[in-house]
Structure 1
Amino acid sequence: MAFVYSIRRLLSGSSTASSILHSQYASIRFNTTLTSPKLFISGLSRLTTDEKLKEAFSPFGQLLDAKVIADRATGRSKGFGFVTYASIEEAEKAREGMNAKFLDGWVIFVDPAKPREPRPPPQPLQEPSDTGFRTNKTVGWCG
């Protein structure tokens, strides 16, 4: 009978059962710890600037850097950026405090930044031969 009563309490949404479930899900969600004080911010508005990003994330600790990534050709924001804190604890507080919040009218998402992957070296440009024809090494001769 006690088992049925506890299930009924759980399904009815009593505050104690709700708080137990919430704390279990919260521990699963925030169980991962950051390994770096750098955060990746996605979902930024095209109007968000470095200053606005710094202003939004400064209440959580000492900011070392706040950068919105812009397109080289147009200069417009690409919709994401990076924030670097002095310590991992401050970055974790910012992650918990700003994830899925509004910034400039858009919902932003805060995740740990991944290390930058090395790019392959650029391929040398093919020069035309003495005959004026170029060869495409992936397809064969074209002329």
Structure 2
Amino acid sequence: MAAAATARSGFRRMFSISAFSPPKPPTPPPKADPSPNLFISGLSKRTTTDGLKEAFAKFGEVIHARVVTDRVTGFSKGFGFVRYATVEDAAKGIEGMDGKVCFILSYHFCC
């Protein structure tokens, strides 16, 4: 009888709810500090650096712009970077260009 009682108490300890704690809810990642540097995606493969700079210059002073290109073809890989003079200009650029479908070509804009 003692063996059966020991076995039952061991069984209870093994499957005791108190031994497990519920998982903690995930914490959201901290907000990023504002930055004048922007990552731009969704560019046409014909987008040039000059075209990118000209398109974003409508919203503030662009210090630097660069379209990442394929080494073999020379065409855009579909993304680039823009650096504004101030965080405020960058915020205007984000607001002005966010969600727009643009084919930024050198000296020609189709938006």
Distance in 1 separating the partners of 2:77 and 2:37: 18
Distance in 1 separating the partners of 2:48 and 2:91: 22
Distance in 2 separating the partners of 1:91 and 1:34: 12
Deviation by residue 1:85-132 (Cα, 9 ceiling, x = unmatched): 001111011101101012118xxxxxxxxxxxxxxxxxxxxxxxxxxx
RMSD: 1.7
Alignment partner, residue 60 of structure 1 = 59
Residues 122-141 of structure 1: matches in 2 within 5 Å? none
Distance in 1 separating the partners of 2:92 and 2:46: 25
TM-score by length of 1: 0.48
Distance in 2 separating the partners of 1:58 and 1:69: 18
Alignment partner, residue 81 of structure 2 = 82
Q: Contact 1:33–1:92 at 8 Å: present in 2 too?
A: no
Higher relative contact order (CA 8 A, sep 6+): 2
**Across the two proteins, how many residue pairs are aligned to each other?**
74
Alignment partner, residue 39 of structure 1 = 38
Percent identity over paired residues: 54
* Amino acid paired to 1:87: T
Distance in 2 separating the partners of 1:71 and 1:104: 17
Alignment partner, residue 119 of structure 1 = none
* Amino acid paired to 1:95: I
What residue ranges of structure 1 are gaps of 5+ in the alignment? 1-31, 106-143
Q: Contact 2:37–2:81 at 8 Å: present in 1 too?
A: yes
Q: Contact 2:45–2:77 at 8 Å: present in 1 too?
A: yes
Q: Contact 1:34–1:88 at 8 Å: present in 2 too?
A: no
Alignment partner, residue 99 of structure 1 = 98
TM-score by length of 2: 0.61
Runs of 4+ with >6 A deviation: none
**Deviation (angstroms), 1:34:** 4.8
User: Whose Rg is larger?
Assistant: 2
SS in 1 for 2:71: coil
